[in-house]
A and B are shown apart, each in its own frame.
Chain A
Amino acid sequence: MDRRDYENSLVKQSKVCQQTVEAVMNNIDYQALGEVMPIKEIFDAQKIIITGMGDSWLAGVAMKPVFEAVAKVETDAMRAIEFSRHLSSKQLGFSPNTPMVIGISVSGNPARVAECLQRADHYGANTILITDQPNSPSAQVARHVLHVGLPEGTPYGPGANSYIGSLVALTLMALRIGRVKNTISQNQYEDMKKAIMDYTVEVCAKMESFADQAFELAQTWKDLKAYDFIGDYADYATAFFGSAKVLEAFGGYTTYDDSEDWCHINFFLKHPETIGRVVIANSDTPSFNRLKETMAAIEKLESPCMVVTDADKSEFPASFNVFTFPKPRYFWLAPIMQHWAFDLVADYICELNGITQFRRDMPAFDTEIGKKRLRGGTEIVIV
């Protein structure tokens, strides 16, 4: 079997990952960042809230640490509907231009992001939209728009490079805030920017070997009943993202949790031998030892398990399939690239089982209601 016969959009995207990051880094230059985040507004923001839907929400979860470590501003990543309907209005506009609300929507179309931005603006918060469509409906209602600048011609399918675009954009914003607030020096700023590219190049150089490993794993994992993802904090984004790709690519069963709660809940799932566990475990994170304890429990259950990590294979049980990524210069860079491991597996499983992405072949999904679910008829409500 040749894996080149089983390539779908995620594998194809992995091949242009480096060009994507290069394009985004070039597009979001010093000037673009300065226009989106004037100095006064940076100092005004006593808090930052990142919001979006699906992958965009995960982008916020994944990059929260860079805001904490570099920007040093209290930052929350919030689901769009939680922000637009459930967050207390007392948390918005309590001081001028506070919080700085960063909405993310690559297409700019879904109604909920526009609703978030309008609500934030209504209560006196600052609004910035990260998007690839600067003329989209959401962009019309944002105070500032940061154009990601993804290269054209990305194949239709579950998004990975668009996710990376949002992650890189968020990182660059955090670095600008850190530079302006002088939490990092110009040297550090330049080195951190360079580290994004260095890490990308390093991972992309290993992409072929990851593809080999993923293809081999996909052949044994394609008939599993479900996929269970475990990750903590920023790595929870990588875990959740993997689960989303399962659904988008081949519509399988997924579940997800953190390392602690997994021991209390998903440990009890019936027939563990039919459930593939995917653990994101990076050696520098404060819960690495907890993740190892959890993995010991997984080993006892004899579940098939893959580990995405920056540590050596020898750290984990011998039966686990370990994807070792290069260790980035700054720990907060890991989520930008580590999702590729399962993206590739998901893509190969999809093709090996002959499934059409996004259920485009199934009549149940080919309905007016289904097609309009994100935009059509969705009313905007400001509460």
Chain B
Amino acid sequence: MTSKDYDSAMLREIRNSVAHLNSFNATQTFDYLASCMPPEEIAKYRRVILTGCGDSYCAGIAAKPVFENVESFKGTGMLPGTPTEALRNIEFTRYYNTYRGWDFNGPNAYRTLVCAVSFSGGPMRPREAMARINAVGGGSVAFTGNNNSNFAKEAKWVVNYNMAPGEPDVPQVRSYQASCFSLMMFGLYMSYCKGQMTRAQADEQRLAAMQYVNSFSGKVLADIEEKAFALAEKWEAIGVDLMDFVAEGADYATSFFGSAKMVESFGGLTTHDDAEDWLHINYFNRTPEKVGTFIIANETSPSFGRDLETIKVMVDVGRPLAIITDAEDISVFPEEATVFQLPKPKYRWANPLMQHIPMDYVAAFVGLMRGEYPYRRNQAPHDRDPHASRFIQSKMVVLGKED
């Protein structure tokens, strides 16, 4: 069997990811974003909160550096971006408190912009986020593929993905990429509206991101597929039954996302942590030879040095290890590890757009190898909540202005 003998809706999404982002890029122009939320509105906001559930929360973590404009203020004399937080949806809607200045009769509240992400628009919690920020007078933007959802209707502004509907029951790759990309472009748009970068800089950064995406086409993606297939076969052969994901900063989004794909695709156990805390906690797993470990160690990341040290310990303790990296010289990694050497983006915030691909492939292949149906649909006991009432029918609670 080779990887080409396998096919599934998820695999088709991964194989089409470059083409998909290209067509998505064509619809999410800065002019389109300006038609969603006018520049004079967006320029008012001094704090941004990115939120969503599951994959959408990950998209927020991935896009945060773009809102903070970490790349362009260095050495260019431009201003840093808007202070931005990526929050778990429940933490924003139920726990985000007034101590952040929300009780100063307004200014901080009405200068906070909440960008909530939900591709389907179905879950209650993102809608609750929109209602909550509206209740204190702040700004609400819905990022969604469903313009008619109650979630979109709750928001003051809507960024619609205008994407054709995908196949049913797929662990989502397409919508995650769209959410990341859309939020990132919105971050660039916000930065140039606020004068933190020029329009030319924003265009240049978008172009660089697309160049990075396109560098995955053809043989590069096919090679990743082969390598991921071999990895999936190897890990199935040694009986990997827990997967551990390690990354820091915006790359944490990728590792969290990757872990979710494993759960969705074949129900596998996963856990995730950063490279420092991993040494304190997850290091102690009793059966290291059965814990498939992914670490994202990008040369462009400020914690690359610590990643290398952690990788040494991982190999030393006997973990089956896969490294995802944008490093040009991969001789720094131990031979025992499977290294996915990915193209290096000009701006490091673009990494989360594509670096999840190896994990997605592993998720898809292992799912097919085990004959697992995504989301355990129509199987006991998971069929006891067939319409996902656990998050669609959840009660909406809007915390208003407290003191």
Query: For the complex, is B12 an interface residue (Cβ under 8 Å from A)?
Result: no
Q: A261-B53, A265-B264, A383-B302 are in contact. Are A247 and B284 (CB under 8 A)?
A: yes
- Chain B residues with Cβ below 8 Å from A247 are 281-285
- Chain A residues with Cβ below 8 Å from B271 are 243, 253-256
User: Does B281 lie within 8 Å of A265, measured CB to CB?
Assistant: no
Q: A53-B276, A74-B99, A364-B288 are in contact. Are A369 and B305 (CB under 8 A)?
A: no
> Which chain A residue has the least Cβ–Cβ distance from B317?
A364
Query: For the complex, is B391 an interface residue (Cβ under 8 Å from A)?
Result: yes
User: Does B395 lie within 8 Å of A293, measured CB to CB?
Assistant: yes
Query: For the complex, is A343 an interface residue (Cβ under 8 Å from B)?
Result: no
Which of A88, A256, A260 contacts B391 (CB under 8 A)?
A: A260
Query: For the complex, is A15 an interface residue (Cβ under 8 Å from B)?
Result: no
Query: For the complex, is B15 an interface residue (Cβ under 8 Å from A)?
Result: no
Query: For the complex, is B207 an interface residue (Cβ under 8 Å from A)?
Result: no
Query: For the complex, is B280 an interface residue (Cβ under 8 Å from A)?
Result: yes
Which of B54, B277, B309 contacts A265 (CB under 8 A)?
A: B54
Q: Mark B94-109, 1 if CB is under 8 A from A, else 0.
A: 1101011100000000
Q: Mark A229-243, 1 if CB is under 8 A from B, else 0.
A: 000110000000001
Question: Which residues does B use to contact A, with CB under 8 Å?
Answer: 53-55, 57, 68, 70, 73, 80, 83, 88-91, 94-95, 97, 99-101, 123, 125, 241-242, 248-250, 259-260, 263-264, 266-271, 274-277, 279-288, 301-303, 305-306, 309-310, 312-313, 316-318, 372, 375-376, 381-382, 384-385, 388, 390-391, 394-395, 397, 399
User: Does A53 lie within 8 Å of B277, measured CB to CB?
Assistant: yes
Q: Mark A285-305, 1 if CB is under 8 A from B, else 0.
A: 111011001101100111000
- Chain B residues with Cβ below 8 Å from A55 are 280
Bound-state CA distance A269–B241 (Å) is 12
Which of B54, B99, B242 contacts A68 (CB under 8 A)?
A: B99
Bound-state CA distance A72–B402 (Å) is 13
> Which chain B residue has the least Cβ–Cβ distance from A301?
B381
Q: Mark A247-278, 1 if CB is under 8 A from B, else 0.
A: 11011111110111101111111111101000
Looking at the assembled complex, report how far the CB atom of B96 sits from the nearest CB atom of chain A, in whole angstroms.
9
Query: For the complex, is A179 an interface residue (Cβ under 8 Å from B)?
Result: no
Which of A112, A244, A253 contacts B269 (CB under 8 A)?
A: A253
User: Does B53 lie within 8 Å of A251, measured CB to CB?
Assistant: no
Q: A85-B248, A369-B313 are in contact. Are A355 and B286 (CB under 8 A)?
A: yes
Bound-state CA distance A300–B125 (Å) is 21
User: Does A287 lie within 8 Å of B284, measured CB to CB?
Assistant: no
- Chain B residues with Cβ below 8 Å from A358 are 284
Apart from A255-B270, A271-B267, 11 more pairs, CB < 8 Å = A54-B281, A85-B302, A85-B303, A232-B95, A233-B94, A263-B394, A267-B390, A286-B94, A293-B390, A293-B395, A381-B305
> Which chain B residue has the least Cβ–Cβ distance from A365?
B317
Looking at the assembled complex, report how far the CB atom of B91 sits from the nearest CB atom of chain A, in whole angstroms.
6
Query: For the complex, is A322 an interface residue (Cβ under 8 Å from B)?
Result: no
- Chain B residues with Cβ below 8 Å from A256 are 271
Bound-state CA distance A265–B245 (Å) is 15
Bound-state CA distance A268–B269 (Å) is 10
User: Can you list 7 A-B pairs with a CB-CB distance of less than 8 A?
Assistant: A81-B303, A85-B302, A86-B250, A261-B89, A269-B268, A270-B266, A374-B280
Which of A54, A259, A269 contacts B280 (CB under 8 A)?
A: A54
Q: A88-B68, A264-B391, A265-B260 are in contact. Are A74 and B381 (CB under 8 A)?
A: no
Closest 7 CB pairs of A and B: A251-B286, A270-B267, A54-B280, A264-B54, A86-B249, A286-B94, A85-B302
Bound-state CA distance A153–B372 (Å) is 51
- Chain A residues with Cβ below 8 Å from B284 are 247-248, 251, 358-359, 365
Q: Mark A78-89, 1 if CB is under 8 A from B, else 0.
A: 011110011010
Query: For the complex, is A73 an interface residue (Cβ under 8 Å from B)?
Result: yes
User: Does B306 lie within 8 Å of A297, measured CB to CB?
Assistant: no
Residue among A55, A263, A266 with the most chain B CB within 10 A? A263
Bound-state CA distance A109–B137 (Å) is 47
Bound-state CA distance A367–B274 (Å) is 22
Which of A57, A90, A261, A266 contacts B88 (CB under 8 A)?
A: A261
Looking at the assembled complex, report how far the CB atom of A353 sits from the nearest CB atom of chain B, in whole angstroms.
10
User: Does B302 lie within 8 Å of A250, measured CB to CB?
Assistant: no
Query: For the complex, is A91 an interface residue (Cβ under 8 Å from B)?
Result: yes
- Chain A residues with Cβ below 8 Å from B388 are 263
Bound-state CA distance A298–B283 (Å) is 29
Which of B268, B287, B384 contacts A300 (CB under 8 A)?
A: B384
Q: A263-B391, A300-B385, A301-B381 are in contact. Are A86 and B83 (CB under 8 A)?
A: no
User: Does A259 lie within 8 Å of B90, measured CB to CB?
Assistant: yes
Looking at the assembled complex, report how far the CB atom of A238 sits from the nearest CB atom of chain B, in whole angstroms.
15
Bound-state CA distance A123–B301 (Å) is 20
Query: For the complex, is A225 an interface residue (Cβ under 8 Å from B)?
Result: yes
Query: For the complex, is A373 an interface residue (Cβ under 8 Å from B)?
Result: yes
Looking at the assembled complex, report how far the CB atom of A279 sits from the nearest CB atom of chain B, in whole angstroms.
13
Bound-state CA distance A282–B383 (Å) is 29
Q: A53-B277, A54-B280 are in contact. Are A297 and B80 (CB under 8 A)?
A: no
User: Does A364 lie within 8 Å of B318, measured CB to CB?
Assistant: yes
User: Does A79 lie within 8 Å of B277, measured CB to CB?
Assistant: yes
- Chain B residues with Cβ below 8 Å from A72 are 99
Which of B53, B73, B282 contacts A264 (CB under 8 A)?
A: B53
User: Does B286 lie within 8 Å of A252, measured CB to CB?
Assistant: yes
- Chain B residues with Cβ below 8 Å from A275 are 269
> Which chain B residue has the least Cβ–Cβ distance from A300?
B384
> Which chain B residue has the least Cβ–Cβ distance from A286?
B94
Looking at the assembled complex, report how far the CB atom of B14 sits from the nearest CB atom of chain A, in whole angstroms.
19
